[in-house]
Structure 1
Amino acid sequence: MKTDNTFESLLVNEQKELLRHAYALVGQREEAEELLQEVALRVLEKKDKFSLGTNFRGWVHRVMKSVFINMYRSKKRHASYCEPLDGIFYHVDNGSFGIMETASGFNDMYRVINGMPDMYSIPFKMLVSGFKYTEIAEKLNLPIGTVKSRIFLARKRLQAVLADYK
């Protein structure tokens, strides 16, 4: 293992490239700096995992990618499942998602979803917001089969009511 001084100097020398990589991943300066800070902390915590003779640059950039993925998943998981993603509702078309293109289509879909009993609308909204079936089942304290069934029925209802928008 490298000495702390050499390890830290390698990290300092890589900061500029790490910031570029972070910016490429997130697209905003503030978020890139936040990601860079998180990566620096993680690398310093895990410096005992780095061994002499391996590619330091490759290792820290891989750590960055892992931290980015974990941050993205965490933000996605904590998104409110009662609100549409990015202000846009999506409609279901043969099991896939697409953007609702008209205002009247948006209003109809919103009306249909909110008109469903909570036992169907809440799991459906959570799924559209990015939760996985297992996460929905945990949060609602339901068996996974029940969650899948309710989401399936909500999709079928939406497809039937919104058939004109296909």
Structure 2
Amino acid sequence: MKKVNPRTPAFKFTKDGQHAGDLQQETICEDLKYGDYNKNRVGLRLWLFTLLRNIFINIYRRKKKAGKIMNSYTKEWELEKQLNKSYQLDTCTKDIFSHINALPVFFKQPFILYLEGNKYSEIADLLGEPLDIVKSRIYFARRILKSLIERS
């Protein structure tokens, strides 16, 4: 990983180069994900600093709520592995995924792409379909899933 400048806000929050790099990377990912909220890019530095600060606060609160603020990443990864093992998919979630897999392909493809976080226009480009067709297929996939879930 690239060495983080100690004068960056991320380093000032975390006091650790590795955590600061991770925090910066998470900030960039959030900017790419939610950058539409700052369309005009007015105050880009302020926008990025706000994202960075909020991400740091959310991580801190999560760790505090878990009862421990850990200093090393190895302990954090071990805790995360244990938590992932302890949580099992419940039957409701399994049923939903089985209903999604039961959808016809022309409904299932755009719906899964939509669930993955793609925008309607991106899905239309990926599938080579008109935007209106993609929107209607996702709408009907939702309606079919809703009726299937209500029946079960």
TM-score (norm 1): 0.45
Normalised TM-score (structure 2): 0.49
- The structure where helix makes up a greater share of residues is 2
